[in-house]
């Protein structure tokens, strides 16, 4: 392993556009070798760090951002086996972001990589050093962490507390990868310099121009990602731990669905489709996500849902529960209504059926049986408050679950976030109104750095049994209390046994479930 201090060397941390930094100790908010905000350096810098993502047994996406028109250069591997890849140009059209799709990597290997940018004169800039581990082609042990919800409810980067420190215990576990289950940013949540908490303590935020209001322009959406990447903890983890990124609602605006027209007077642009297109562009610019997959109906845009193969023991199926849904209603329609959408459901069934991995991890940005309301009547997720037979969106999930059973697909486990508390659920067909499915587990984590909420009520349609809930002490608990922040850790040993632990932001284990694979 590369020494952590070597991986976290960054410059240009705060960048231009900072309105105010509330910090008694400025060094607490700045990484090593930080430069003066807005200072133009002689060579290309890396103001937003570097990341890898969607790492399989033979490929990886490597991403970074610079401060001027420059070409991304990636060196991966060591000694005579090192490869130098001259990637695309980073320009204002991509907010100076760039990524390379590295292929032909050896399975089961720890790789160091270096990134830098070369400017128009060929001058090489600051070097960033990271690492990633490809999936093994053998039945070797593997691990991952998952969480969601970063910089929500106005709780941004508090330099007094060391920033978004919930990322530290995840990083310290040295997992093979991270699943970020959505709400990577809160585009609809303005961040102010000070927030007075219920107990009178004052929470202080770093604030930039782009986060001081709801995001509407492309630059404002981009600015939300730039903001999160000011945080030392996030950058350090992303340099070391590959990410599988999903989106949910707050990458655009709260509880959105295609075709919606907002009535929120904070917005000048109230057409959600316009906002979502800008949000989607910013997401794909800033997330190290493969662009190989296309949605023919959406033209040249990359597709959000995809499978990431992690070796004989694990495949990850990352879903998109936002792009293809119908409008939010009470969910009581007698016909099947869209949530994943027919094309994505059929894709998932094909991929699950073809998977030879022991475990099939479904990374879902929303839970199945938790009731997530959208106002007094409409529902935002799947469960519709009616404990009886499936209706509306539940019919789509009922079809999916019954087909998983019919096709003999085993060892499917769901991982999700969204509701701002952690939980372990078992969906029991013997206790369900709809029972044509094999029982399965669902694990919920998050927030990692946002307000704590919950618990929500459960809908009995699919028979969810609550095995555990980890809750904040009060509604909208701030990340000052790391016991109200949550993530999950999954370990699969060489024999295929899966151990799932739910942990708080201090890394303390709250609950553990051990699962034995069937059908081996």
Q: Are 10 and 34 in contact (CB under 8 A)?
A: yes
Assess if residue 85 is contained within a domain. Answer: no
Token couple for 45: 């810098």
Token couple for 388: 């009886």
pTM, two decimals, is 0.91
Dihedral over alpha carbons 183, 514, 382, 292 (to 10 degrees) = 50
CA 53 – CA 505 distance, rounded (Å)? 23
Assess if residue 79 is contained within a domain. Answer: no
**Average pLDDT value for residue range 430-452:** 98
pLDDT at 23: 30
Residue 235 has pLDDT above 60, yes or no: yes
In three-state secondary structure terms, 452 is strand
CA 227 – CA 16 distance, rounded (Å)? 11
pLDDT in tens, 354-409: 999 999 999 999 999 999 999 999 999 999 999 999 999 999 999 999 999 999 99
Q: Say how many domains are in the chain.
A: 1
Give 116's strand partners. Answer: 73
Residue 213 has pLDDT above 50, yes or no: yes
Assess if residue 55 is contained within a domain. Answer: no
SS (H, E, C) 473-519: CCCCECCCCHHHCEEEEEEECCCCCEEEEEEECCCCEEEEEEECCCC
**Average pLDDT value for residue range 275-298:** 90
Write down the H helix ranges in 135-271. 167-172, 218-228, 232-240
pLDDT at 21: 34
Token couple for 477: 């608990």
pLDDT in tens, 240-279: 999 999 999 999 999 999 999 999 999 999 999 999 999 9
Assess if residue 23 is contained within a domain. Answer: no
pLDDT at 78: 85
Residue 344 has pLDDT above 70, yes or no: yes
CATH for 192? 3.60.21.70
Token couple for 511: 């609950």
Assess if residue 288 is contained within a domain. Answer: yes
Q: What percent of the chain has pLDDT over 90?
A: 88
Cβ-in-10-Å burial (0-12, 13-18, 19+) of 335 comes to exposed
- CA quadruple 32, 38, 43, 45: dihedral sign: positive
For Cα atoms 421, 423, 428, give the angle at the middle one, nearest 5 degrees: 145
In this structure, are strands 314-318 and 359-363 parallel, antiparallel, or unpaired?
parallel
More confident residue, 213 or 302: 213
Residue 425 has pLDDT above 60, yes or no: yes
In three-state secondary structure terms, 8 is coil
pLDDT in tens, 31-56: 323 333 445 568 999 999 999 999 99
Q: Helix 218-228 to helix 272-286 angle, to the nearest 10 degrees?
A: 40
Domain limits for position 421 = 142-515
Residue 229 has pLDDT above 60, yes or no: yes
Token couple for 118: 């070369």
Assess if residue 61 is contained within a domain. Answer: no
**Average pLDDT value for residue range 199-210:** 96
Cβ-in-10-Å burial (0-12, 13-18, 19+) of 181 comes to buried
Q: How many Cβ atoms from other residues are within 10 Å of residue 466's Cβ? A: 13
pLDDT at 27: 27
| Band of pLDDT at residue 5, cut at 50, 70 and 90 | very low
Lowest mean pLDDT among 18-22, 92-96, 112-116: 18-22
Token couple for 394: 């539940």
Q: How many Cβ atoms from other residues are within 10 Å of residue 520's Cβ? A: 9
Assess if residue 75 is contained within a domain. Answer: no
DSSP 60: E
Assess if residue 131 is contained within a domain. Answer: no
- Chain mean pLDDT for the chain: 92
pLDDT at 296: 74
**455 upstream amide cis, omega within 30 of 0:** yes
**Average pLDDT value for residue range 285-299:** 85
pLDDT in tens, 215-228: 999 999 999 999 99
Q: Are 446 and 147 in contact (CB under 8 A)?
A: yes
Residue 19 has pLDDT above 60, yes or no: no
């Amino acid at each position: 392993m590369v020494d952590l201090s070597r991986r976290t060397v960054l410059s240009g941390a705060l960048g231009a556009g900072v309105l105010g930094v509330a910090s008694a100790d400025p060094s607490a908010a700045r990484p090593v070798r930080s430069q003066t905000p807005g200072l133009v350096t002689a060579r290309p810098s890396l103001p937003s760090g570097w990341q890898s993502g969607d790492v399989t047994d033979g490929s990886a996406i490597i991403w970074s951002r610079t401060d001027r028109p420059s070409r991304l250069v990636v060196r991966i591997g060591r000694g005579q086996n090192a490869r130098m890849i001259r990637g695309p140009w980073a320009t204002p059209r991509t907010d100076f972001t760039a990524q390379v799709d590295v292929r032909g990597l050896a399975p089961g290997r720890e790789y160091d990589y270096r990134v830098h940018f070369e400017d128009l004169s060929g001058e090489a800039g600051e070097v960033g050093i990271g690492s990633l581990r490809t999936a093994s082609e053998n039945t070797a042990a593997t691990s991952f962490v998952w969480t969601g919800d970063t910089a929500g409810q106005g709780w941004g980067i508090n330099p007094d507390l060391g920033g978004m420190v919930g990322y530290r215990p995840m990083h310290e576990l040295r997992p093979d990868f991270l699943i970020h289950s959505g709400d990577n940013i809160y585009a609809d949540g303005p961040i102010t310099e000070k927030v007075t908490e219920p107990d009178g303590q004052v929470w202080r935020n770093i604030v930039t121009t782009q986060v001081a209001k709801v995001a509407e322009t492309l630059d404002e959406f981009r600015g939300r990602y730039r903001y999160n990447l000011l945080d030392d903890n996030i950058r350090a983890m992303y340099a070391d731990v590959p990410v599988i990124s999903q989106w949910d609602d707050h990458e655009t605006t709260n509880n959105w669905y295609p075709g919606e027209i907002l009535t929120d007077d904070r917005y000048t642009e109230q057409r959600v489709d316009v906002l979502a297109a800008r949000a989607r562009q910013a997401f794909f610019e800033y997330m190290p996500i493969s662009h190989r997959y296309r949605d023919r109906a959406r033209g040249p845009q990359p597709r959000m849902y995809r499978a990431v193969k992690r070796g004989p023991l694990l495949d990850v199926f990352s879903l998109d529960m936002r792009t293809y849904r119908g409008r939010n209603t009470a969910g009581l329609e007698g016909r099947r209504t869209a949530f994943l959408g027919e094309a994505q459901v059929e894709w998932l069934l094909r991929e699950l059926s073809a998977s030879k991995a022991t475990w099939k991890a479904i990374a879902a940005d929303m839970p199945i049986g938790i009731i997530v309301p959208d106002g007094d009547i409409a529902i935002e997720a799947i469960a519709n408050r009616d404990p009886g037979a499936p209706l509306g969106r539940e019919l789509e999930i009922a079809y999916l679950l019954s087909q998983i059973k019919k096709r003999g697909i085993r060892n499917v486990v769901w991982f999700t976030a969204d509701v701002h508390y952690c939980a372990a659920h078992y969906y029991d067909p013997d206790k369900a109104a709809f029972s044509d499915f094999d029982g399965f587990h669902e694990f919920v984590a998050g927030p990692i750095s946002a307000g704590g909420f919950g618990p929500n009520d459960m809908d009995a349609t699919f028979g969810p049994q609550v095995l555990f809930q980890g809750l904040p002490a009060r509604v909208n608990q701030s990340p000052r209390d790391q016991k109200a922040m949550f993530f999950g850790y999954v370990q699969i040993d060489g024999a295929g046994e899966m151990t799932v632990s739910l942990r708080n932001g201090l890394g303390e284990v709250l609950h553990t479930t051990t699962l034995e694979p069937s059908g081996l």
